[in-house]
Structure 1
Amino acid sequence: MPFYEPRDEGEAAEIVGAAAGRSEPLRLVGGDTMAGIGRPAQDEATLSARALSGITLYEPAEMVIAARAGTPLSEVQALLAARGQMLPFEPMDARALMGSAGAPSFGAVAAANNSGPRRINAGAARDSLIGVRFVNGRGQAIKSGGRVMKNVTGLDLVKLMAGSWGTLGLLTEVTFKVLPVQERVATLVFSGLDDARAVAALAAALGSPFELTGAAHLPAGIDGEDPRTLMRLEGFSDSLDYRIGELRKLLKRFGAAEILDGEPGAALWTAIRDATPFAGSADAVWRLSTAPTRGPALAAA
């Protein structure tokens, strides 16, 4: 099976245009870490963005970063971390879950709308995506968006490309807004709640003014532990002390909450982000979206 690895956008456009002329379906890959998700592509050749690598723009004061699609996500995150910044939507690393190798690519974050637990507070990847360059199915190079967030009249190609999984074109460069890393991160942990009470506790916390940046329930046995209901807060330390105290008062009917600070809490949310409790499962893994209040009944069914 042919394997194409263009070194720049112009070469990518030529490859796609030639493949279109031959009616040759292409499978688009970056780091190829999420290849097992969804229906297998009906392809005759592979087009890889791996060689389209490098950070093309970083303006810390403007909180904007752009890089070519094949740039390793870790390279982008390391640069941001060195300046005390982060991608706000907390993209998942699917390698443990999928049993894949390679390195997650920056373009795939946009292509898969790859978002983690902070989505409830900061929005999905598409909400921070402000610019794209891509090659469409006719081999035409297209640019949409730029370095600032704007209101859009007409077709918003930037948001359209987010989550399109390569069906609308090969992303060659993406631009995201970033945010400062928070001074402190703390997690409230309620133990022993069944699914229904856990969802009630999470709903009460999310409906409060105390700004959760993560909310999750781990049922009994999901990771070898008793049931745990988790609520993450971020911000300045004094603010967190106040919000934690108020949440404890609000949720006292659900029991006493343990507080996790620092690395233990960070490791727990990384495991939730990456769905690592399901890693190595012999069964299919499904992600189902439903109203939170219907979650317990759906899980039971």
Structure 2
Amino acid sequence: MSILTPTTPEEAAASVREAAEARAPLSIVGLGSKSALGAPWNAARRLDLSKLAGITFYEPEELVLCAQAATPIETIETLLAANGQELAFEPISFSALFGAGAGSIGGCLMANLSGPRRVKAGAARDHVLGVKAINGRGEAFKAGGTVVKNVTGYDLSRGLAGSFGTLAVVTEVNFKVLPRAETAATLVLNGLAPKPAVAALCAAMGSPADVSGAAHLPPFAAQSLGFAASATLLRLEGFAPSVNERFDRLKATLSEFGAAERLGAEATQTIWRAIRDVVPLAAPREKIIWKISVAPTAGPGVAATISRAFPCEAMFDWSGGLVWVALDPDVAPDAGAELIRGAVMVHGGGHATLIRAPSELRAATPVFQPQPPALKALSERLKAQFDPYGILERGRMQAQV
């Protein structure tokens, strides 16, 4: 494999043009934290963007930050924290699941990452303001801008989110940032089973408490984080008087589900970082990990269906709408894909993504949720417009020869 390491966006564009002219498949990597996501494949060339790093524009008063694609998330979060700000979508770190760092800001957008705060703030695509990128012909383009309201017509910046580099090589991203909360607290309900726990989470999300995190940890996951039994968790953030008042109201609202306990700001930060990064399911590293997105009330039913067929561990985020499932590596030849996706359909539909598995399983199993015919045809037309020669991450989202 030929490794190309551009030091400027112009050099990156030239590398893509050369690959296009040679019809040579091209893989794209920033800091490598997500290299094990997707179907394994061998590209003729690798475009290493690690030299395209650094913050190019930051205006705290305007709530805008621009950075080159390979800028580490940690660098950005440290700078924002020093100014009392944050990336509100709370991007997941794959350090626990893959032994990698949090990764780059460009990779964060390409994977459309988000953590527990997604229930309030949305995903990465909801905070991107603009991008500079290179299409599959090697042509540089930009979309969006550096102000919060800048979009008319098709929002190309958001359209690239979650494309895993199959449509374009992003060289710079502009994100909206938001003020960091003064303090935080977590309301804990102990001992609930998944179904009543999700009912409590949904009741909290429907209340005026302005919840910024809603998760349920079954006993194994809760105990790994220091709880005595299962823990149903609701995070509140903001100014201290507001957090205190909302906590008391939420406690009264959820009184039918049991007595509530309170975690302070420091414990809240620790617990929610572990939930964000799926720490309770991460070890041992050989376990298969699935990420399942369904309607919140469907989460417990999906997990129960899977557990009746395979020994598994599950934890719930996004008020029950995100189910993380861990399976033994020898559970099934297809990593349990047929049963898991069947369970998702039975319970109202959604998406099941194979996040972690040995390369041979990822090669034999559709890693991403198969698209229905109409959506697949639309995706193929979009791919043809951006990457007519099919060189960008050709096998990343679906296995290809």
TM-score, normalised by the number of residues in structure 2? 0.73
Confirm or deny: 8 A CA contact 2:110 2:160 kept in the other structure: yes
Unaligned runs of 5+ in 1: none
Equivalences for 1:70-109 in 2 at 5 Å?
70-100=70-100, 104-109=103-108
Instruction: Spell out, residue by residue over 1:125-180, the C-alpha distance to the aligned partner (whole angstroms, 9 max, x if none).
Output: 11110010011110011111111133634332101111111111111000001011
Provide the residue aligned with 2:267 in structure 1: 264
**Aligned-pair distance for 1:42?**
4.6
Report the secondary structure of 1:289's partner residue.
strand
Report the secondary structure of 2:17's partner residue.
helix
The AA in structure 2 aligned to 1:284 is I
Instruction: Spell out, residue by residue over 1:3-24, the C-alpha distance to the aligned partner (whole angstroms, 9 max, x if none).
Output: 1111010000000000111111
The AA in structure 1 aligned to 2:195 is A
Provide the residue aligned with 2:359 in structure 1: none
Provide the residue aligned with 1:253 in structure 2: 256
Equivalences for 1:1-301 in 2 at 5 Å?
1-100=1-100, 104-150=103-149, 152-224=151-223, 225=227, 226-281=229-284, 282-301=286-305
CA distance in structure 2 between the aligned counterparts of 1:248 and 1:294, rounded to whole angstroms: 25
CA distance in structure 2 between the aligned counterparts of 1:47 and 1:220, rounded to whole angstroms: 44
Confirm or deny: 8 A CA contact 1:2 1:45 kept in the other structure: yes
**Aligned-pair distance for 1:62?**
0.3
Confirm or deny: 8 A CA contact 1:67 1:173 kept in the other structure: yes
Report the secondary structure of 1:143's partner residue.
strand
Report the secondary structure of 1:61's partner residue.
helix
CA distance in structure 2 between the aligned counterparts of 1:31 and 1:150, rounded to whole angstroms: 30
Confirm or deny: 8 A CA contact 1:126 1:159 kept in the other structure: yes
Report the secondary structure of 2:114's partner residue.
coil
Report the secondary structure of 1:36's partner residue.
coil
**Aligned-pair distance for 1:38?**
2.1
Percent identity over the alignment? 49
CA distance in structure 2 between the aligned counterparts of 1:289 and 1:147, rounded to whole angstroms: 31
Q: RMSD in angstroms over aligned alpha carbons?
A: 1.3
The AA in structure 2 aligned to 1:80 is L
Q: How many residues align?
A: 300
Confirm or deny: 8 A CA contact 1:129 1:176 kept in the other structure: yes
**Aligned-pair distance for 1:103?**
5.7
Confirm or deny: 8 A CA contact 2:190 2:232 kept in the other structure: yes
Confirm or deny: 8 A CA contact 2:33 2:102 kept in the other structure: yes
Confirm or deny: 8 A CA contact 1:187 1:265 kept in the other structure: yes
Report the secondary structure of 1:288's partner residue.
strand
Confirm or deny: 8 A CA contact 2:144 2:150 kept in the other structure: no
CA distance in structure 2 between the aligned counterparts of 1:259 and 1:103, rounded to whole angstroms: 29
The AA in structure 2 aligned to 1:231 is L
CA distance in structure 1 between the aligned counterparts of 2:193 and 2:163, rounded to whole angstroms: 36
**Aligned-pair distance for 1:223?**
4.8
Provide the residue aligned with 2:325 in structure 1: none
CA distance in structure 2 between the aligned counterparts of 1:42 and 1:163, rounded to whole angstroms: 21
**Aligned-pair distance for 1:241?**
1.2
Confirm or deny: 8 A CA contact 1:31 1:103 kept in the other structure: no
**Aligned-pair distance for 1:276?**
1.1
Unaligned runs of 5+ in 2: 306-401
Confirm or deny: 8 A CA contact 2:92 2:276 kept in the other structure: yes
CA distance in structure 2 between the aligned counterparts of 1:44 and 1:161, rounded to whole angstroms: 24
Confirm or deny: 8 A CA contact 1:28 1:166 kept in the other structure: yes
CA distance in structure 2 between the aligned counterparts of 1:121 and 1:134, rounded to whole angstroms: 29
